[in-house]
Amino acid sequence: MSKLIISGGQKLKGEIIIEGAKNAVLPILAATVLNEGLSVIKNCPRLKDVEVMVNILKSLGCKVNMEDNIILIDSSTINNTFIPEELAVEMRCSIIFMGAILSKYGKVTISYPGGCVIIWV
């Protein structure tokens, strides 16, 4: 990891752009289920896990538009509480939809989330 070493008595002044982080945006995407309208997520990294989360939102009935690093999600069109198995098994993080969907709709159907396969011997 890089570091900045600052020496001297001068005040710092300026701006930096912080890149979006996958582990921050995935829970935010799941939380958009709780909103009853448009959510705008900016500075979103374009990664496979983000794509899977977007596909889960679409499978729930959300309207999703991705442009550059901005994702627009309209959750007012959600019409079911079923997360398809082929999407749930793509990653462990798919399970975080459970809390938001249960909280808002009182039921959810999801298979075991993906991730590392553990084999007992």
Which residues carry out catalysis? 116
Please answer whether residues 57 and 38 qualify as being in contact, where contact means their C-beta atoms are separated by less than 8 angstroms.
Answer: no
First to last CA, the chain: 39
Cβ density class 49-59: b for 16+ within 10 Å, e for less: bbebbbbbbee
